[in-house]
Structure 1
Amino acid sequence: MRIAVIGAKGLPAQQGGIEHHCQELYPRIVEQGHQVDLYARSSYTGSLFRDTVNGVRVISIPSLNLRGLDALSCSFLGTLSTIAGFQEQPYDIIHFHALGPSLFSGLPRLNTKSRVIVTCHGLDWARAKWGRTSRWILRQGERNALKFADDMIAVSEDLQDYFQTTYSRDTHYIPNAPASYAASDPAFQFVQSWGLQPQKYFVFLGRLVPEKRPDLLLEAFATLKQTDWKLAIVGGDSDSQGYAEMLKQQYASNEIVFTGELVGAKLAEVVRGAGLLVLPSDVEGMPLVLLEAMNENVPVLASNIEVHQKLLANGRGLLFEAGEVAACQQRLQWAIEHSKALALMAEAARQHVQAVYNWDEIVQQTLAVYDRALMLSSSQGEQERQMSQV
């Protein structure tokens, strides 16, 4: 099977849930004998050359490194490349990830018999960083996905319910699973270089964008009565530089550190050393950050949006009312005072994630969607052939 991937920034994954999703998924698909070409942004890979990452051919193409236009320009050019006949053989599957890139999901119908699959990782138009025009484009991407995709995948049951309730469209629920963190320093020297003590700090991990609500966590932390815990804010901006700079100017202190974006062993060390990982988001698809922390036996606190409620049910973590600073502050204070209870929650969470979220199963489920789309295509082709003979 020949598969083209549109919508990921590139590989190796540096930041972004979609990139980590693709980094886990597609090398495993390659191992099963399939060919995968991932069309990447040159602004992300730093190159215009073709590379191979764990068996996946990464094809970097020009893109506009401007707010909102980078993703669209790369997705447009990548889609054109899949249908222009440059390849030795046409693609069997063209897989779009996210609603923005799905704006171009109808183009393959113009010149190929490739089957189109769309994975929705979240309702991107609901993210606070986008203005009116960007929201309209993302909404149109959603409509085009519904119109042109041969099949759709949702990474959470909430997203699956959304498409069924809103459009009466069936989708396949195939969740994310946690990636494995790199080996890290058991002495936590990097953590301590920031003035942090293992098990004595909260950590926020994610892009510094409004919908992930780092501002809410920062405000809640500032009102805590304790004095010996600190807060680490880990992540870079994403078309949100002004917002990120505002947070740093308003909250940077001896008790709050902004590490910027971390990867590899340094990221693993900061997460593993945390006493509590906090995800206060207003909007999420299936948060890999949460799954990975749970997999690492790190206690978690999250806003009570529906996807978080399902992940942390049955005592697998703490929840607070989304958007409520006081509720978040109360949970942080409780966590400081109940380390033994947190440890029990973390172990229950680890066992749940390892039992339910498995990349090998996700690969098989994804390949089954591909096979189904190709089977329907063959059936339709046979019907058309028979009709032409009548």
Structure 2
Amino acid sequence: MEGRLRIAMIGTRGVPARYGGFETAVEEIGARLVEAGHEVRVYCRSGGERMREYRGMRLVHLPAVRHKVLETLSHTALSVGHLLGRRTDVALVFNAANSPLLPLVRAARIPVATHVDGLEWKRAKWNGTGRRYYLVAERLAVRWSDEIIADARGIQDYYRERYKTASVMIPYGAPVQEAVDEEVLRAAGYEPGRYHLVVARFEPENHVDLIVEGYTRSAATYPLVVVGSAPYAAEYTRGIERLAEADPRVTLTGGIWDQRLLDALYAGAATYLHGHSVGGTNPSLLRAMGAGAPVVAYDVNFNREVLGETGEFFADAASLAKAVEDAEADPARGRARGDAARERARTEYTWDDVAARYEALCRDLLAKR
């Protein structure tokens, strides 16, 4: 084994992963870096549970301002302050919004790579000021990072075209399920293969409202199960709730934190309906593919890149309605598409490969510095 690295992972809610793609990536990558012999420190936002170690990673819990604009940056500022007093070989910063703090990391002569996520400025939750901030933050990430990490070719293309800069493309990984846990599904009241599934935060760019609207226009007989919520989108959530209240076939479950049940829901779905439109490689989409779910996704380049030939796509309520009706009319075709998606996830999106690429990046950063 080459030399042991001290790696800091900054800018997320931390681990165990309970929220989104960044947190899942930190957990899966960080644990594998530990297994490879490295020391990994993960900065976590203070909550009810404060473990000092998880899957071999050392956890540092620090507070954050609970506000959609200030939460990420306030926590990262405290994390960077802590980082500067600790011996660190490489820092991995997640989210371009944290880029104003990068000069402090560089001043300490710590090589830093920034995982820029998707096109955050396009998210509807940001007003004009928020969008302008994210566009400035992108430019600063390019200027002050030793390396930019993109999780999709579409994100690489965006940074190349807009900022004339190269980036390292490292996607997320996909957990693979070979079978449906029918016992868990039935105990929760779901019939395997006889429901449509959405798992998403309730934000406009995830098109949950469009999916629910399209489903309510359809003649589908299988129920629609919608898993998710949003901390800062009360008005948008109320719109989805109104659509659901008008159709008894629609069930809003809120967030589901029982991973065994959530895995079973992915694996047992007649279709997984994916509306995300501004991210790169989306972890929920990969989880559905790894579970063998037939995916019907919103028609954008990121989703086409990940799904390849295994996906079907919708652009409006009418095409979504047709997709769920077609899936119920020909379940064998759906199962074949799901099997193909699982195989694509198994070969193209593995966490072991992702972690190995992060390890190589960290070594390259340290060598250049």
TM interval, short-chain normalised? over 0.9
Q: Tell whether 2:236 aligns with 1:243.
A: yes
Q: CA 1:5 to 1:278, structure 2 compared with 1: closer, same or farther past 3 Å?
A: same
Cα deviation digits, residues 67-121 of structure 1 (max 9, x gap): 22211210111112111x2x2xx211111111112332222123x1100111122
Q: Give the residue type in structure 2 aligned to 1:216.
A: L
Matched-pair identity in %: 27
In the other structure, the counterpart of 2:59 is 58
User: After superposition, where does 1:310-325 map in structure 2 within 5 Å?
Assistant: 310-314=305-309, 316-321=310-315, 324-325=316-317
What corresponds to 1:153 in structure 2?
A: 149
- C-alpha change, 1:360 and 1:203, in structure 2 (3 Å) is same
Aligned residue runs from structure 1 range 119-268, under 5 A:
119-179=115-175, 185-187=181-183, 188-192=185-189, 196-226=190-220, 228-252=221-245, 253-263=247-257, 264-268=259-263
**Count of aligned residue pairs for this structure pair:** 362
Specify which of 349, 354, 362 is matched with residue 357 of structure 1: 349
Distance 1:185 1:158 in 2: 35
Q: Distance in 1 between matches of 2:256 and 2:160?
A: 38
Q: Residue 112 of structure 2 is aligned with which of 104, 112, 116? A: 116
Once the two structures are superposed, the pairs formed by residues 41-56 of structure 1 within 5 Å of their partners are: 41-42=45-46, 45-46=47-48, 49=50, 51-56=52-57
Counterpart among 100, 104, 108 of residue 103 in structure 1: 100
2:143 is matched by which residue type in structure 1? K
Aligned to 1:68: 69
Contact 1:184/1:266 (8 A) holds in 2: no
Q: Which runs of 4+ in 1 moved over 6 A?
A: 181-184
8 A contact 1:103–1:140 mirrored in 2: no
- In structure 1, what is the Cα distance between the partners aligned to 2:298 and 2:346? 22
Task: Return the alpha-carbon distance in structure 2 between the equivalents of residues 361 and 242 of structure 1.
Answer: 40
Superposition TM-score, scaled by structure 2 size: 0.93
Check 1:181–1:71 CA distance in 2 against 1; reply closer, same or farther (3 A cut): farther
SS at match of 1:313: helix
Larger radius of gyration: 1
Q: Any stretches of 5+ residues in structure 2 without a counterpart?
A: none
Bigger relative contact order (CA 8 A; separation at least 6)? 2
Give the whole-Å Cα distance in 1 for the aligned partners of 2:231 and 2:20.
10
Relative distance call for 1:232 and 1:249 in structure 2 (3 A) is same
Deviation at 1:180, TM superposition (A): 5.4
Residue 46 of structure 1 aligns to which amino acid in structure 2? Answer: G
* Deviation, structure 1 residue 26: 0.4
CA distance in 2, matches of 1:117, 1:181: 32
> How big is the shift at 1:3?
1.1
SS at match of 2:14: coil
User: Structure 1's 180 and 66: CA in aligned 2 closer, same or farther, altered over 3 A?
Assistant: farther
Deviation readout 1:130-186 (Å, 9 max, x if unpaired)? 112222222222111101101111000000111111111110111111135799842
**Structure-2 change in CA distance of 1:237 and 1:181 (3 Å):** farther
Is structure 2 residue 277 aligned with structure 1 residue 276?
no
The 2-side partners of 1:120 and 1:142 are apart by: 8
Give the root-mean-square deviation of aligned CA atoms. 1.8
One-letter amino acid of the counterpart of residue 363, structure 1:
A
SS of the equivalent of 1:197 reads: coil
Q: Which residue does the alignment assign to 2:367?
A: 375
Greater alpha carbon shift after TM alignment, 253-262 vs 206-215:
253-262
Between the aligned partners of 1:320 and 1:17, the Cα distance in structure 2 is: 23
Amino acid at match of 2:48: G
Match of 1:287 in 2: 282
Q: Write the letter of the residue equivalent to 1:53.
A: Y
1:202–1:276 CA contact under 8 A, matched in 2: yes
User: How many Å apart are 1:20 and its aligned residue?
Assistant: 0.7
Q: Secondary structure at the match of 1:105?
A: helix
Q: Residue 342 of structure 2 aligns to a residue in which SS?
A: helix
Residues 201-260 of structure 1: CA deviation (Å, up to 9, x unaligned): 11100111111000000110110123x211011012132133223311332342111111
- AA matched with 1:204: V
Q: Which amino acid aligns with 1:291?
A: L
What CA distance in whole angstroms lies between the structure 1 residues aligned with 2:181 and 2:106? Answer: 51
Give unpaired runs (5+ residues) of structure 1: 378-390
1:23 counterpart = 2:27? yes
